[in-house]
């Protein structure tokens, strides 16, 4: 692939801007600075720097973010900073079918929810992960206002009716790991589903954290606000 095209595909700006960066000597390959925008490179595992910042070629891009509290999963947030501000500009500017679109969150977490959030520019992946047909389990650590009891856990497992659908929704798994700590596994992603399910059994969510999606857990060393690439092993773990 031409070096100019590599930079463009990774979100470093229009083809013209990318050619300019290269011609100005701001792009280095492992072999050194390259000023030829048409230089042919092998993209597999390609490492390069732009203005001294290291980048690894990824297409498509898959990443995980430890979503902090007080952030919105929207590109145009209404009250809180967007999670997209936590990502480097190239990830927000990746082109898709000729338009600047960037990576997108795979489903949304509420403003006050923390934890594991996936982002990608692979539309099919988003569809597969969000589709209720694929039953990808998502594990939530719920801090409740009132002590949990067996009846609440049993009702969440049996299914509760929410206000927008007469069909009951049930947790795929549910256990009280401490008096105020519920671990709840869901395979769908309805609007405010955890909060509404917990409310339906007479309790209330005080804190919500997503710890796992499929076989992929949020790593202990990924601090709130930090992101990292998903590797092939992570993607395999997601498929289960």
**Residues interacting with ligand URA, by CB under 6 A?**
109-110, 113, 192-195, 208
- Of residues 71 and 113, the one with the C-beta less far from ligand URA: 113
The nearest distance, CB 52 to ligand URA, in angstroms, is 37
Longest CA pairwise span in the chain (Å): 69
Quote the CA–CA distance of 6 and 181 in Å, as a whole number: 47
Quote the CA–CA distance of 178 and 34 in Å, as a whole number: 58
Q: Yes or no: say if 63 and 90 are a contact pair by the CB < 8 Å rule.
A: no
Q: Which of 126, 109, 103, 71 is nearest to 186 (CA)?
A: 109
The nearest distance, CB 102 to ligand URA, in angstroms, is 22
Number of Cβ atoms within 10 Å of the Cβ of 113 = 22
The nearest distance, CB 81 to ligand URA, in angstroms, is 16
Is 110 an annotated catalytic residue?
yes
Helix H or strand E segment including 95: strand 95-96
The nearest distance, CB 80 to ligand URA, in angstroms, is 13
Of the residues 110, 122, 158, 220, only one is catalytic, namely 110
Q: DSSP 3-state assignment of 87?
A: coil
So which residues are the catalytic ones? 110
């Amino acid at each position: 692939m031409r070096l100019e095209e590599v930079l463009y595909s990774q979100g470093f700006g229009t083809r013209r801007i990318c050619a300019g960066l290269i011609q100005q000597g701001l792009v280095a390959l492992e072999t050194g600075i390259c000023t030829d925008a048409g230089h042919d490179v092998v993209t597999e595992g390609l490492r390069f720097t732009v203005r001294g910042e290291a980048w690894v070629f990824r297409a498509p891009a898959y990443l995980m973010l430890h979503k902090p509290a007080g952030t919105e999963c929207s590109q145009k947030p209404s009250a809180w900073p967007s999670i997209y501000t936590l990502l480097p500009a190239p990830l927000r500017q990746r082109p898709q079918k000729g338009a600047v679109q960037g990576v997108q969150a795979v489903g949304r977490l509420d403003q006050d929810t923390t934890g594991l959030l996936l982002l990608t520019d692979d539309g099919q992946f988003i569809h597969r992960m969000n589709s209720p047909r694929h039953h990808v389990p998502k594990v939530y650590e719920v801090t409740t206002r009132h002590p949990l009891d067996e009846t609440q856990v049993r009702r969440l497992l049996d299914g509760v009716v929410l206000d927008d659908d007469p069909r009951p929704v049930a947790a795929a798994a549910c256990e009280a790991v401490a008096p105020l700590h519920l671990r709840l596994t869901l395979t769908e992603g309805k609007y405010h589903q955890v909060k509404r399910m917990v409310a339906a059994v007479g309790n209330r969510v005080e804190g919500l954290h997503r710890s796992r999606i499929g076989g992929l857990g949020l790593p202990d060393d990924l601090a709130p606000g930090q992101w990292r690439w998903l590797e092939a092993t992570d993607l395999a773990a997601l498929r289960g």
